[in-house]
Structure 1
Amino acid sequence: MKPVRLAAAATLALPRWAIFGLGLLYILPGLIGRDLWKDDAASFGIMWTMAHGSVSDWLLPNVAGLPLADEGPLAFWLGAICIKLFGWLLGDVMAARVSTIGIFVLGALSVWYTAFHLGRRPDAQPLRLAFGGQPEPDDYGRTLADTALLIYLGCLGLLLNSHETLAVTLQGSLLAFFLYRSVRYVEAPSLGNAGLIGLALGALTLTRGWLPPCTLALALFLCTRFLDLPAARTLRDLGCAALVALLIALLWIVPAATLRPYGLSPVDSWMAWNVSQIGLPSLHSLKAFFKVGIWFFWPAWPFAIWAIYAWRRQRRLLHIVLPLSFAGALTLLILCDPAPESGDLLKLLPPLAIMAAFGLPAMKRGTINAIDWFSVMVLTMIACGLWLWWWATLTGWPAQLAKNAARQSPGFDAEFGVIAFLVAAAATIGWFVLVHWRISRQPAVLWRAVVLSSGGLILFWILLMTLLLPQFNYSKSYNHVAQQIAAKLPEGGACILTNVGPAQRASFAFYGGLTFAGFGAEQCNLLLLQDSMDLRDDGEIAQAFRGKQWALLWEGRRPSDPDERFRLYRRVK
């Protein structure tokens, strides 16, 4: 027997304007007015170098002459194209983030349409009521799609990564698109749908290598065997998809391997990086997965687990089999990574959010109310805490909180921003209106259990990116350091040798206009060193940067980082 019994009144869809407004409130804060932070400065640096460089820079991703061809070029191509198109109007940083908006839209739409098509299938429908009144398939599908999208937007992992110009962000959205195309293929097997699957696999290959696409293709084939699709036709169609994916990947591989930009082979570096991503599962990767995943996938994972349990007695259910297979295969791939990164977990969010949407209708009303109250209390307390922190930085009261804020960002001088305050105040008022609606009306709609979680998380992000954004820019950006270094450079600039990392190199090149030594053996008269404040001598500095021929011109660091130090030298011999 199906675990869901639902009346038509519970399938009232969210208004389209509400979904669009929610999406804008989610993605725009954190893109507008934010400086380059260390987390995504390197990725922007690759896009910026491409947009203002030559064909070689498009074939060999690099940050002002520092090769970074490991992941693949697609995410950086998109950002560079946006800089070319919109940089004159929005500035290079915001223009690159236009690609981030497009990537977010692709992921959100893919999650919505995947849940919609799965939700209107006959095997996903709730039990028919004795006297009628059950929802229509399309209405039920739209409600599940709205629910899946709210869960997807409510996940903490997506919030932390969807506002950054990273390859893993594009990978997560492409995975959602692949999941959607897989559902459409199972519903209507054809070479056309197989070709679109190949498009997703090829884009994934150019984004973060060939391991995830190979894993997904194998998982899809196993799903079709479990669902009793004809094996011969499936092999033919997946072979067509693999061919399309290969042709897309060759669009970069062939010219990069043939032309060898700057005398280097980006394809060799890319292949070596791919091979380094696979190994045997270890206790370290297992601990890292659960330690990060327990909050990264919240609140999707409890609902997804309940969906698997609630539908356990039904067989060959596409809305459980397909996302569960993809989630299981990708989890195994992550566990086999010798050095897993938290951003890799984005691949799991679309299948988990979709499964979670099918677990929600089977939950008891008391559990749903408990989730609501938890969301209201916790998120309201966090919002009040953020307002109090902002007030303390502005006025110095409460004294202890102001002291803690000053310790986090030494030297930061807070100023009152009218626009930021009005946006934050409007978002806070909207939150209390939403809470009042949920508590006073007691709506029966299915998505009531997650609308507060998603709304509260969006409020949290808006407050961070309005009230506290100046403090974050001060502590996380290298803008001020870049300006200090640029002030010490000779007239007309000069070539600089350096050991700084990709994020710092990108920030200094963009904000300070610094010209670093590129791929050739250039004779530079300036040297910029990055090391630790704990370093007492130059014994730990690379041999190439040692010697008495260097005279110190400047020394500094970000006030918020007590360990990192930069020193600028001039050649005297």
Structure 2
Amino acid sequence: MKPVRLPAAATLALPRWALLALGLLYILPGLIGRDPWKDDADAASFGIMWTMAHGHPADWLYSNIAGLPAGDEGPLAFWLGAICIKLFGWLLGDVLAARVSTIGIFLLGTGSLWYTAFHLGRRAEAQPLRLAFGGQPEPDAYGRTLADTAVLIYLGCLGLLLLSHETIAATLQGSLVAYFLFRSVRYVELASTRNAALIGLSLGALALTRGYASPVILLLALFLCTRFLKMDARATLRDMGLAVAVALAICLAWIIPALALQPYLQNPLTDWMAWNASQLAPPSWFSIATFFRAGVWFFWPAWPFAIWAIWAWRRQEKLLHIVLPLYFVAALTALIICDPVPDNPDLLRLLPPLALMAAFGLPTMKRGAINGIDWFSVMVLTTLGGMVWLFWIAKLTGTPAKLARNALKLVPGFHPEFGIVAFTVAAATTIGWFFLVHWRISRQPSVLWRAVVLSSGGLILLWVLLMTLFLPDLNYGKSYASVAQQIAARLPAEPGCIETNAGPAQRASFAYFGHLPFASVESERCDYLLLQDSVVVKDEEESLSKYNLRNFTLLWEGRRPSDRKERFRLYRRR
């Protein structure tokens, strides 16, 4: 017997304007007005995009950050950001223009997930049990409701919130996995040449984004799924061969020019292959422990619903809406635990299939459990939102004094100011949250997505409050803009080139904010040297031996006001 019993009233679609508003409130804060930050992969990725947009054609083939080689990952995500800088930089500024690609990537991921859940929800095996006197939902209505639910769960995941606002390759990879999931569903429904070619398109894009491991393991998972579903093996192998051919053709669009032109006398393919090989190793206890330790919060709240979905549908057979995402989750999990040093952004690949399974687990849950989730969301998220407002008032007014000290101690020297635009957006979002809570409590709606709309809405509330009320503080504490301007002020109009040991994020920030002319990928002798070190770790002897500082004169020394450890020194060759 099917585990789902729902009346038609439970499948009312979420209004399109509401879903769109939630999406905009989710993705726009954190993109607008935010500088590239310290220790943020977003700054390094932006540096690659900025270098491509303002550099030479060779920079598009050999990724680098103002001369610092960065050819490990594929170039696709950086191409998209650089194209957006070319198109919109004059209007939006380079940072925000690069993040236009982030908006497109977000739309690709959420749209692909919505249509995947919609198609699976319309299938006969996913439909609720027919009621004795009728009144069960129509397939299309049920599919739309499940699609809305999947997107709301996806938006409610903590990992997506933290990383979807960064211009990193992993965000594109996560959205491409969602698109591959959609194309796989369409292929299982109709095993046509067109669907096989579109699967190849997604595989090729994945390879150009974060290497060949993900597309290989996903294609294998899809083939095993077709075996479980007893699809024609010969036809499936033929179609998978076509998909591989399309994927290779897409990759060759970068590989052939890179090998033929040898940008900066380098072979980008060598670095790319070496990085791919370094991502694979036998599973280790460290990788397994890291995956589960990070996954508990990264996949919340999708993973409890997904596990429940597997349990609730366990007695059914050949369920595409459970089997397909489960195969993908298993394959991608195996890939992550085979990574010797797994990183949180790699977990984004698992979010689309987990959110999809979670959407099919939600209709099988008891009403009491759903109400418990609602009340937990209301109490916890409202309390956290109130604390953000309280800290904001304290930092502006100085009252309560203890909260004011705690709010400002991480940004010494910062003078908070009232921003009318930020306050208006934060206030309007907070009022909208209370309207949402009132709607849920007063009407007691029976719609399926009511259980996750409060979780997603409350998380969006917190993000909007932080990215409006505290964005100036965060920019002050995490941006290198002021340091870059100080360094630029000590240089002549035509300084030649600057050698540096600064990291990727710092180098990108200095090149953008200060227009510092760092040494190119090709080695060259520079008249200026910019050193990054720590005042805590004494490494003067290493600097003397590596850079021969006796031949340089110190011009400037400084750091960000909020950082008591990191130090930068600018030297000129004698």
Q: 1:131 aligns with which of 119, 133, 139?
A: 133
* Larger mean Cα displacement after TM superposition, 372-381 or 485-494: 485-494
Q: CA deviation at 1:323?
A: 0.3
One-letter identity of the residue aligned with 1:137: P
Equivalents in 1 of 2:228, 2:374: separation in Å? 37
Q: Distance in 2 between matches of 1:402 and 1:347?
A: 40
After TM superposition, give the deviation of residue 138 of structure 1 in Å: 0.4
Which structure 2 residues correspond to residues 289-308 of structure 1 after superposition, within 5 A?
289-308=291-310
Alignment of 1:408-487 (within 5 A): 408-487=410-489
Q: Give how far 1:542 is off.
A: 7.4
Counterpart of 1:197 in structure 2 is: 199
Query: 1:159-174 alignment to 2 at 5 Å?
Result: 159-174=161-176
Aligned to 2:142: 140
Structure 1 residue 287, shift from structure 2 partner:
1.2
Partner of 2:270: 268
- For residues 171-570 of structure 1, what are the structure 2 equivalents within 5 Å? 171-541=173-543, 543-570=545-572
Q: Classify 1:352/1:470 alpha carbon distance in 2 versus 1 (closer, same or farther; 3 Å).
A: same
The counterpart of 1:72, out of the listed 74, 88, 93, is 74
Aligned partner of residue 13 in structure 2, secondary structure? coil
* Alignment size in residue pairs: 572
**Who is 2:12 aligned against?**
12
What is the aligned-residue identity percentage? 72
Is contact 1:372-1:453 (8 Å) kept? yes
Letter in 2 for 1:139: A
What is the letter of the counterpart of residue 344 of structure 2? Answer: S
Whether the 8 Å CA contact 2:163–2:345 is kept in 1: the answer is yes
State TM-score, norm by structure 2: 0.99
> 1:51: Cα distance to partner?
0.6
Deviates more, 1:28-37 or 1:302-311: 28-37
Matched, 1:37 2:40: no
CA distance in 1 between partners of 2:89 and 2:284 (Å): 45
- Aligned partners of 1:145 and 1:560: how far apart in 2? 44
The code of the aligned residue for 1:255 comes to P
Decide whether the 8 Å contact of 1:528 with 1:567 is kept in 2.
yes
Say whether residues 1:21 and 2:21 are aligned partners: yes
> Partner letter of residue 326 of structure 2?
L
Which range moves more in the overlay, 529-538 or 244-253?
529-538
1:140-160 CA-to-partner distances (Å, cap 9, x unmatched) read 000000000000011111111
Q: CA shift at 1:547, angstroms?
A: 2.9
2:112 to 110, 113, 132: 110
Q: Does the 8 Å CA contact 2:555/2:572 hold for their aligned counterparts? A: yes
2:92 to 90, 93, 116: 90
- Take 1:14 and 1:565, find their aligned partners in 2: how far apart are those partners? 52
Q: Which amino acid aligns with 1:277?
A: Q
After superposition, the C-alpha distances for 1:158-205 in whole angstroms (9 at most, x for unaligned) are 111111100000000000000000000000001100000000000000
For residues 458-511 of structure 1, the C-alpha deviation after alignment (integer angstroms, 9 at most, x for no partner) is: 101100110000001001111111011111112333311100011100100100
What SS class does the counterpart of residue 42 from structure 1 fall into? helix
Question: How far does the alpha carbon of each residue in 1:183-237 deviate from its partner, in whole angstroms, 9 at most, with x for none?
Answer: 0000000110000000000000000000000000000000000000000000000
Name the SS for the 1:531 alignment partner.
strand
Aligned counterparts of 2:538 and 2:459: Cα–Cα separation in 1? 45
| RMSD between aligned residues | 0.9
Say whether the 8 Å CA contact 1:120–1:140 is kept in structure 2: yes
* Cα displacement string for residues 413-445 of structure 1 (whole angstroms, at most 9, x for unaligned residues): 100000100110010011011001101100000
CA apart distance, 1:411: 0.9
Distance 1:326 1:71 in 2: 22
Query: Can you give the 5+ residue segments of structure 1 that lack an aligned partner in the other structure?
Result: none
Q: Is the 8 A contact 2:544 2:550 kept in 1?
A: no
Q: TM-score, normalised by structure 1?
A: 0.99
CA, structure 1 residues 537+83, in 2 after alignment: closer, same or farther (shift >3 Å)? closer
Q: Deviations over 1:541-567 (max 9, x none)?
A: 374313311111111111222221111
Distance in 1 separating the partners of 2:310 and 2:10: 22
CA apart distance, 1:37: 1.4
Which secondary structure does the structure 1 equivalent of 2:74 belong to? coil
For 1:496 and 1:31, locate their aligned partners in 2 and report how far apart those are by CA, in whole Å. 30
The farther-off stretch of 43-52 and 490-499 is: 490-499
* Distance in 2, Cα, partners of 1:442 & 1:320: 29
Please give the secondary structure, in 1, of the residue aligned with 2:541: coil
Contact persistence 1:538–1:546 (CA under 8 A): no
Aligned-partner residue type, residue 383 of structure 1: G
